[in-house]
Amino acid sequence: MNYWLVKSEPSTYSWDDLQKDKKTTWDGVRNYQARNNLKEMKKGDLLLFYHSNEDKAIVGIAKVSKEQFPDPKDKDWIAVEIAPERKLKTPVTLAQAKVDKKLSNMVLVKSSRLSVQPVKREEFDWIINLSEG
């Protein structure tokens, strides 16, 4: 199993939207590195759901429910389908991640603009630990 982080502006598509919808097509990715990360995703992989811009926080855990397929908006790109697993007990902010030594090498800290990024198992587990206090 692999671990990932996906970003969305909550005013565009929030964690609450994903929970209400029960699943969504994760499309609209127009960065080659992020696209390559989507290609690597396998059904069942876990995702940290990050609210960018307003909150700048990891707010939930989702999973890949369908592997790559052509992006419905542009067939030259790809999409995956994701479904919610659970909301984090307490959001983990970007500010928290930046000062935590265990997360100092996390892609979110080093390259925060990338919209789809890999997460190491240890980082994923530590984010969950931080969320649960």
Of 22, 15, 13, residue with least CA distance to 91:
15
Question: Using CA atoms, how far apart are residues 86 and 90, in angstroms rounded to an integer?
Answer: 12
**What pLDDT is attached to residue 37?**
98
Q: List 36's β-bridge partners, or say none.
A: none
Contact 38, 29 (CB under 8 A): yes
Q: pTM for the whole thing?
A: 0.96
* Total tally of structural domains belonging to the chain: 1
**What pLDDT is attached to residue 114?**
92
**What pLDDT is attached to residue 112?**
74
Report the chain (133 residues): mean pLDDT per 10 consecutive residues: 97 97 97 97 98 95 98 96 98 97 96 92 98 94
Residue 72 sits in a domain of what CATH number? Answer: 3.10.590.10
Pairing outcome for strands 3-8 and 46-51: parallel
**What pLDDT is attached to residue 111?**
82
Question: Using CA atoms, how far apart are residues 65 and 131, in angstroms rounded to an integer?
Answer: 24
Coil, helix or strand for 100?
Answer: coil
Residue 129: in which H helix or E strand, if any? helix 121-132
Q: Which residues contact 118 (CB under 8 A, 6 or more apart)?
A: 2, 3, 4, 5, 37, 40, 107
| Domain with 69 in it | 3-132
